[in-house]
Amino acid sequence: MPPRSVGPYEILSVVGRGGVGIVYRGRHRGTGQLAAVKVLGPAPAIDPMAARRLAREFEVLRTLDHPNVIRVYDAGVVEGYSFLAMELVDGLDLRAYLSPALDGGAVHVFEPSPLSPRPISDGASPRPVQLGPEAIRALAAMMDEPDTEPGGMAFATPGLRPGAPQAPRPPPGPELLEALNRPARVARLRAVLAQVLEGLAYVHARGFVHRDLKPSNVMVDDARRARLMDFGLVKTAHERDDALTATGRIVGTYRYMSPEQAQGRTVDARSDLYSLGVMLYELVTGMPPCAAAEPVDLWRQILHVRPAAARRVNPGADPLLACIADRLLEKDPASRFASAEEILSELRA
């Protein structure tokens, strides 16, 4: 069974789980506010770098206030578990929201998962809670060991461990292309793209680079409002790229990385725009721009192979969206759009 409580939050159900933690639907016992509670732990079982990133995510997000960026409420440690409480978004991730099979573009409320993680508390009595990101960092320091990044890549051995890339997809057939190009879906795509760009423009204007932009990190709620989520790999323009990574390793989701991020070079806002281009290309064409199944081949495609033009794959695609996707996928950052605001201007012209 899920725990009955995590710090000040009553736990209602499980939302989902990732490689290093579980996300619960919770309710603050004092205010009644619903929240998504991300929990890492227990301490001996997790990478201390994951805890530091959780603290970093809280510190960054509490400085941001935008309708298209997720909000955070609390962070801390309880019984050796680090937790982050944030805005609960009932809805779908970007890929599901724009699925050609979604009738009429309706957003369906997420049904909680029946997973049964190890309990944190039986709820019989209050547990001591240490609030704030410094409590999480202190816990990380206690369990410190050489940093690792599951699915990361060593600079010296490109392509060795980039995670689990998808198998190549066949070219989209006529039925899929027709579904992708339905006017209602294209209108939804344009509308949600504008919201993502608004959120990115806000984040970038404050000197942050997300570094892990992908469809699962954009959620759309029942009111069709998009949120940028999961800022665990965020960096600032003045921060060394390896400040929150293991030395000589690349972090992020490989399929959505810009060439400069895949090479371990310094990245700026244009790297996030490349990742947005990968997402947009997939949503316009029904297939990824780099579709190699083998890790090394995927790495080489990201660095050296120019994807087929979006309108070549999907001749009926919205011309502007296809053009934006193609330009965002330029290997040279200087050849991409310079900013999210520039893309918004094109979209609204």
- CB under 8 Å to 86, separation ≥6 — which residues? 35, 36, 37, 38, 61, 70, 71, 72, 73
Report CA 51 to chain centroid distance, whole Å.
Answer: 17
3-state DSSP assignment of residue 261:
helix
Confidence band of 291 (pLDDT split at 50, 70, 90): confident
Alpha carbon separation from 231 to 86, 154, 171, 203, 325 (Å, rounded):
12, 22, 33, 11, 23
Higher pLDDT, 218 or 18: 218
Give the pLDDT score at 165: 41
Q: Which of 109-113, 122-126, 170-174, 212-216 has the lowest mean pLDDT?
A: 109-113
Confirm if 115 and 14 have CB atoms less than 8 A apart.
yes
Residue with tokens 């929201």: 97
Confidence band of 254 (pLDDT split at 50, 70, 90): confident
What is the rounded average pLDDT of the residues 40-53?
Answer: 72
Asked if residue 154 has pLDDT above 60, the reply is: no
| Per-residue pLDDT reduced to its tens digit, 294-344 | 778 888 999 999 999 999 999 999 999 999 999 999 999 999 999 999 999
Q: Percent of the chain, pLDDT > 90?
A: 55
Residue with tokens 């520039």: 342
Q: At what angle do helices 319-328 and 340-348 cross, to 10 degrees?
A: 170
Confirm if 309 and 326 have CB atoms less than 8 A apart.
yes
Q: Report the run of H or E that residue 14 belongs to, with start and end.
A: strand 9-17
Asked if residue 138 has pLDDT above 90, the reply is: no
Question: Which of 310, 290, 307, 308 lies closest to 299 in space, CA to CA?
Answer: 290
Question: Which of 49, 64, 36, 14 lies closest to 136 in space, CA to CA?
Answer: 49
The structural architecture, per CATH, of the domain 5-95+108-142 is 2-Layer Sandwich (3.30)
The structural architecture, per CATH, of the domain 153-348 is Orthogonal Bundle (1.10)
Confirm if 251 and 211 have CB atoms less than 8 A apart.
yes
Give the pLDDT score at 318: 98
Residue with tokens 């949600």: 192
What's the CA angle centered on 294, arms 291 and 298, to 5 degrees? 50
What is the rounded average pLDDT of the residues 23-37?
Answer: 95
d(Cα 221, Cα 97) in Å, to the nearest integer? 9
Asked if residue 155 has pLDDT above 70, the reply is: no
DSSP string, 257-272: --HHHHTT----HHHH
What is the rounded average pLDDT of the residues 253-280?
Answer: 92
| Per-residue pLDDT reduced to its tens digit, 56-82 | 898 999 999 999 999 999 999 888 788
Confirm if 274 and 258 have CB atoms less than 8 A apart.
yes
Asked if residue 104 has pLDDT above 70, the reply is: no
Both tokens of 113, joined, read 């998962």
Give the pLDDT score at 237: 64
Which are the catalytic amino acids? 212
Asked if residue 247 has pLDDT above 70, the reply is: no
Residue type, 118: R
Higher pLDDT, 124 or 66: 66
Both tokens of 143, joined, read 């369990």
What is the rounded average pLDDT of the residues 197-207?
Answer: 97
| Per-residue pLDDT reduced to its tens digit, 4-15 | 899 999 999 998
Q: Which of 115-119, 130-134, 320-324 has the lowest mean pLDDT?
A: 115-119
Report CA 175 to chain centroid distance, whole Å.
Answer: 30
d(Cα 42, Cα 47) in Å, to the nearest integer? 10
Torsion (CA) 210, 259, 20, 70 in degrees, nearest 10: 20
d(Cα 282, Cα 290) in Å, to the nearest integer? 10
Give the domain ranges of the chain: 5-95+108-142, 153-348
Give the pLDDT score at 294: 79
Phi, psi of 218 (to 5 degrees): -125, 115
Give the pLDDT score at 3: 80
Q: How many residues appear in the chain? A: 349
Confidence band of 125 (pLDDT split at 50, 70, 90): very low
Q: What is the mean pLDDT of the chain?
A: 80
Give the pLDDT score at 349: 85
What's the CA angle centered on 52, arms 35 and 134, to 5 degrees? 80
Phi, psi of 223 (to 5 degrees): -90, 10
